[in-house]
Structure formats: C-alpha cells, structure tokens
C-alpha cells in the first residue's frame, strides 16, 4: 500500500424520500436510534484508511442535518457540499473539494449503512493498484430482459449487481466528470467507463443494500442490531 496516497469518501445524500413515501429523505430516518446517514458516516470514519469525508447534501436539507448533529451530538468531522439535480452533479460538486492528484476516492450512497470494513478497504486497495474498484455481487436470481414487450433469459453467471463504494484514482474521476451529463450515467462506474476506462469489480457484501423502501428499513434495523 503506497503511503503517498490520500483517501477520501464522498457520501452522496442528495436524494429525496419519494419511494419511501416519507416526508423526510430516507437518509435521515432512524435505524436503531440513529439516523441512517450517521451510521454510514461512522462506518467510513472507522475504516483503517481513515478517509476524509465529504458529505453531499441537498441544499434544502442543510438545516435538518445541522439539527440532527446537535440532537445526537455527532462529532465525526466531515465537509458539506451541496448536491445537484442529478447524482452526476452531486458527485461533481464533491469532487471539486479534492485537489490531490494522488487521492483515492470512494463514492458511497448515504443509504447503504451496512457496508463492511472489508469491502471498503478492498475497494481502496484495488483502486490503488488497478485504477478503480466497484463493489458488486453476483446475481442469485435468474434474470430476464424485457425489450419491446418480448422477454429473454440472460446468463446469470454474467450478471453482477452493482453496489457502492465505487472507488477511483483521482485522475480518472477528474477526466470522467469533465464530460457532459448523459441519461446513461446511472452511477460513477458508467461515467468513468464512458470516459474510456476499464472497470474492475470488487467483491461486495450481501447486506450492503440500498435502503429504498419501508421493508428495507426493517431489515436494516435487524442487521444493525446483530
């Protein structure tokens, strides 16, 4: 592991709680007595690479977040940046805070609080040696693709479900985020791939799911209790 690298995590919390049908965005909902976002920040703060944390918030949520910090006496140092209309712009805004060419940057969804230390460290390490590392797990289910009303089976051995962190050497991200936004940019890997870089998969965690629906919150509470 080279000592000249600096480590960062950009935690993207710009989303709204539309699918959760809750009034407050899901990253601020409580799981086990603590807002989900605080669980997520704590996890990266405890990582052995001690990344500096940049939190991307929606402008409208700034006061709510500061109130939660007070309420829970939350002490983990982090920098706040405001998000954009799409995730692409949120990440881009976070990226502007990082100047070091030698930085290794993990980008993570605020609503994936159950990522393991192992996955975080492995993504950092693989990105150092290979340029990038994307946490992903093989599909357990059979997969079908629907096109124009017609379905076809895909080989599930070839299908991976992508998670975060998605971790990159700074120069790759910098180049990738100079592109104009496109609808096909669903995650950071798609942005970086479109800029001409090969993408490396890193073993993710079965429990590292995205809290999207009410049911997910119940599962997350159970797992955080373990």
Instruction: Answer yes or no: is 162 within a domain.
Output: yes
Instruction: Answer yes or no: is 101 within a domain.
Output: yes
Lowest mean per-residue pLDDT among 15-24, 77-86, 118-127, 172-181 = 15-24
Instruction: Answer yes or no: is 35 within a domain.
Output: yes
What CATH number is attached to the domain comprising 201? 3.90.550.10
Please, which pLDDT band fits residue 4 given cuts at 50, 70 and 90? confident
% of the chain beyond a pLDDT of 70:
95
Instruction: Answer yes or no: is 1 within a domain.
Output: no
Please, which pLDDT band fits residue 226 given cuts at 50, 70 and 90? confident
Instruction: Answer yes or no: is 153 within a domain.
Output: yes
Which residue's entry shows tokens 């080989």?
155
Which residue's entry shows tokens 């910090």?
69
Number of domains, the chain: 1
Instruction: Answer yes or no: is 19 within a domain.
Output: yes
Q: Where are the beta strands (DSSP E) in the chain?
A: 6-13, 30-31, 34-35, 52-57, 79-82, 103-109, 132-138, 143-147, 150-154, 160-169, 201-203
Report whether pLDDT(20) > 90: no
Average pLDDT over residues 34-52: 97
Report whether pLDDT(16) > 70: no
Average pLDDT over residues 47-58: 97
Mean pLDDT, the chain, rounded, equals 93
Question: Domain containing 131: what range?
Answer: 6-225
Q: What is the pLDDT of residues 117-167, one digit of tens each?
A: 999 999 999 999 999 999 999 999 999 999 999 999 999 999 999 999 999
Report yes or no: 195 and 179 within 8 Å, Cβ to Cβ. yes
Q: What is the pLDDT of residues 53-79, one digit of tens each?
A: 999 999 999 999 999 999 999 999 999
> Bridge-partner residues for 202, per DSSP?
135
pLDDT of residue 56: 96
pLDDT of residue 22: 57
Rounded Cα–Cα distance for residues 187 and 192 (Å): 9
Report whether pLDDT(44) > 50: yes
């Amino acid at each position: 592991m080279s000592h000249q690298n600096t480590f960062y995590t950009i935690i993207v919390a710009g989303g709204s709680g539309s699918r959760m049908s809750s009034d407050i965005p899901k990253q601020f909902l409580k799981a086990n007595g603590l807002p989900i976002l605080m669980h997520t920040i704590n996890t990266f703060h405890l990582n052995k690479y001690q990344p500096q944390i940049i939190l991307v918030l929606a402008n409208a949520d700034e006061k709510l977040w500061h109130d939660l910090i007070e309420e829970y006496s939350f002490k983990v140092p982090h920098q706040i940046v405001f998000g954009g209309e799409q995730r692409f712009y949120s990440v881009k805004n976070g990226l502007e805070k990082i100047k070091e060419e030698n930085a290794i940057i993990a980008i993570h969804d605020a609503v994936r609080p159950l990522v393991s230390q192992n996955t975080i460290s492995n993504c950092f390490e693989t990105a150092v040696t290979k340029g990038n590392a994307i946490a992903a797990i093989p599909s357990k289910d059979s997969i079908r693709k629907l096109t124009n009303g017609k379905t076809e089976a895909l080989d599930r051995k070839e299908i991976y479900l992508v998670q975060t962190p998605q971790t990159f050497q700074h120069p790759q991200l910098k180049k990738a985020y100079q592109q104009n936004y496109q609808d096909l940019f669903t995650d950071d890997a798609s942005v970086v791939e479109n800029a001409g870089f090969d993408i490396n998969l890193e073993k993710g965690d079965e429990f590292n799911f995205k809290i999207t629906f009410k049911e997910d919150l119940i599962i997350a509470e159970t797992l955080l209790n373990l």
